[in-house]
């Protein structure tokens, strides 16, 4: 059960992405093949409700926190203590957003049918597998480019 929750939590941002503001349940042509393939229309509506984007003010606060980390990284002289505080602040914001999303998902999961929960878990796994495959491809590309790069000054 813990692995399922972790997989769902990891896949939640991918599953929550939508190209428009239209609710996920209102776009069956995309959903039939997309991240919620196999989940009923009712289940998609419940999941969409749980995974909808957070409060825009939270997202702005997170952007501001990340901008501050970047500013402090580039500052001269480097203030490691201030950078550490800014990074801790950004980490707390991310953790709070993640916790709210997980709580919303936990509130919805008991309302889904067994078939919908299983389809959602499979979709989450597929999303995580795709993400891991992309990361591995990038790592291989990066290692290959490092091996083929001439030494500095040479």
Per-residue pLDDT of the chain (154 residues; tens, 9 = 90+): 455 445 454 455 544 444 444 444 444 434 456 778 899 999 999 998 888 887 899 999 999 999 999 999 999 999 999 999 999 999 999 999 999 999 999 999 999 999 999 999 999 899 899 999 999 999 999 888 888 877 777 5
| pLDDT value of position 115 | 95
Q: State yes or no: cis peptide before 86, omega within 30 of 0.
A: no
Range of the domain at 120: 2-148
Cβ–Cβ < 8 Å for 24, 18: yes
| pLDDT value of position 55 | 85
| pLDDT value of position 32 | 52
The total of structural domains in the chain comes to 1
Cβ–Cβ < 8 Å for 65, 95: no
| pLDDT value of position 21 | 43
Task: Judge whether 16 lies within some domain.
Answer: yes
| pLDDT value of position 82 | 98
Phi, psi dihedral angles at 21 (to 5 degrees): -85, -5
Task: Judge whether 129 lies within some domain.
Answer: yes
Rounded alpha-carbon distances, angstroms, from residue 34 to 17, 60, 70, 87, 106: 11, 28, 35, 35, 22
Cα dihedral 61→66→67→70 (10° resolution): 160
Cβ–Cβ < 8 Å for 24, 47: yes
| pLDDT value of position 107 | 95
Task: Judge whether 153 lies within some domain.
Answer: no
Task: Judge whether 154 lies within some domain.
Answer: no
């Amino acid at each position: 059960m813990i692995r399922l929750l972790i997989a769902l939590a990891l896949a939640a941002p991918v599953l929550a992405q939508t190209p428009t503001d239209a609710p996920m349940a209102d776009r069956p042509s995309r959903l039939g093949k997309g991240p919620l393939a196999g989940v009923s229309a009712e289940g998609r509506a419940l999941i969409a409700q749980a995974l909808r984007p957070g409060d825009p003010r939270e997202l702005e606060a997170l952007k501001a926190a990340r901008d501050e980390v970047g500013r402090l990284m580039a500052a001269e002289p480097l203030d490691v203590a201030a950078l550490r505080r800014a990074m801790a602040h950004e980490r707390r914001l991310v953790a709070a957003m993640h916790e709210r999303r997980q709580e919303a998902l936990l509130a919805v999961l008991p309302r889904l049918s067994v078939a919908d929960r299983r389809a959602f878990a499979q979709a989450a796994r597929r999303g995580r597998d795709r993400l891991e495959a992309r990361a591995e491809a990038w790592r291989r590309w990066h290692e290959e480019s490092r091996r083929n790069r001439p030494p500095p000054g040479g």
